[in-house]
Amino acid sequence: MKKIIFSLLVLLFSCMAGTPVLAARVIKLGVVTKPGSAQNIVAEKFKELLESRSGGRYTVQIFHSKSIGNETEILQQIQMNTIQMGVVTVGPFDTFDPIVRVINYPFLFRDNAQADEILDGPLGRIILDDLESVGFKGLCFSENGFRNLTNNKRPVRTADDVRGLKIRVMASPLHKAIWQALGANPTPMPWPIYTELEQGVIDGQENPLWVMVVYKFYEIQKYMTLTRHVYSAHIDVASLMWWNTLSPDDQAMIQEAMREAARFGRRDNRARNAARLALLKEKGMIVEEHPDLASFRAKVAGLKEMKLYREPKVHSLLLKMLEATQ
Ligand code: EAX
């Protein structure tokens, strides 16, 4: 009975989306960011690989720059199979499945190599598999990168300097809790946020280096601190409803193309960071390269005991992650 209802739902939603189940060869893929961004580089690489490997049986149509909504809205559309895939920052996944909070635990990963090892290994697999419970087929992780703080009020060297700053955060209870613990005044806001920064609605924000360059934050943010407080991954997902209509061969082809695109994106992003840092300084940003991270760590140490991490599946994975990384 469950199966029948599920199949009917698949049919219904596929018809609503105007994509007949079996003939569906156009993959609609959503990213919130604009061309040149880490998400877009992965999406474009995936498109190139899949279209050539499938001999044109699949076409990937990329919707970018918020053309189909913010990241939360992209995820909702993937759940319903109105779009089939997405490259989406871990942050906003938080309200769909709290297990992803484990990845964004502050100061969890030491460096890129450790992030790759964990996320591409059995612990990352637990997260990808768990996403099926909320309608996503988790394919793999690509990267946004380690997040750094920028603001327009003052240089930040220790956690005490953060006190009272109005910081934009992603739509994620965890990210809000992190900045509360640090003494800031966090304001959740969907991407993009240039205007809000420019008009002073918020004092600052936190993101990987590529964001400050691609979105020209050097024009409107004076201070940057290399806090690297959260390793920000993307999760590369498909609609589970759609995924279950594909042949095993096509599933394998799509999975492999996305895995390669994700690896390509990580390499590309990392190779450019030194030049980005130099550029941001050249543009006049005042950069604190060696902040007192111990003071930051101390303020967020209590997070693992918080309600956010109390659900048993989330808590047990967090403990495994901490054991594997710290
Ligand atoms: O890459 O909303 C955010 O801060 C994310 O990092 C966004 O995807 C920009």
CB 48 within 8 Å of CB 265: no
Interval between CA 169 and ligand 1 midpoint (Å): 9
Amino acid at 287: V
Ligand 1: lining residues by beta carbon, under 6 Å: 32-33, 89, 144, 170, 191, 207, 211, 232
Predicted pLDDT at 17: 52
Interval between CA 171 and ligand 1 midpoint (Å): 10
Interval between CA 112 and ligand 1 midpoint (Å): 18
* Residue of 66, 144, 147, 148 to test ligand 1 pocket, by largest number of atoms within 8 Å of CB: 144
What is the Cα–Cα distance from 158 to 292, expressed in whole angstroms?
5
DSSP string, 221-240: --EEE----SEEEEEEEEEH
Interval between CA 297 and ligand 1 midpoint (Å): 23
Residues 6+ apart with CB under 8 A from 152: 197, 200, 203, 204, 220, 221, 222, 223
CB 216 within 8 Å of CB 137: no
DSSP β-bridge partners for residue 198: none
What is Dmax (Cα atoms) for the chain? 64
Interval between CA 191 and ligand 1 midpoint (Å): 6
Peptide bond into 173 cis (omega under 30): no
User: Tens place of pLDDT for every residue, the chain, 326 residues?
Assistant: 555 555 555 555 555 554 444 446 999 999 999 999 999 999 999 999 999 999 999 999 999 999 999 999 999 999 999 999 999 999 999 999 999 999 999 999 999 999 999 999 999 999 999 999 999 999 999 999 999 999 999 999 999 999 999 999 999 999 999 999 999 999 999 999 999 999 999 999 999 999 999 999 999 999 999 999 999 999 999 999 999 999 999 999 999 999 999 999 999 999 999 999 999 999 999 999 999 999 999 999 999 999 999 999 999 999 999 999 99
Predicted pLDDT at 21: 46
Interval between CA 10 and ligand 1 midpoint (Å): 31
* Residue of 170, 194, 210, 215 to test ligand 1 pocket, by largest number of atoms within 8 Å of CB: 170
Give the closest residue (by CA) to ligand 1 atom 8: 89
Exposure string over 161-180, b if 16+ CB within 10 A, otherwise e: bbeebbbbbbbbbbbbbbbb
Predicted pLDDT at 20: 45
CB 31 within 8 Å of CB 43: yes
Predicted pLDDT at 170: 96
List, in order of start, the domains of the chain with CATH numbers: 23-325 (3.40.190.170)
Q: Checking DSSP bridges between strand 231-239 and strand 85-89, what pairing results, if any?
A: antiparallel
Predicted pLDDT at 9: 53
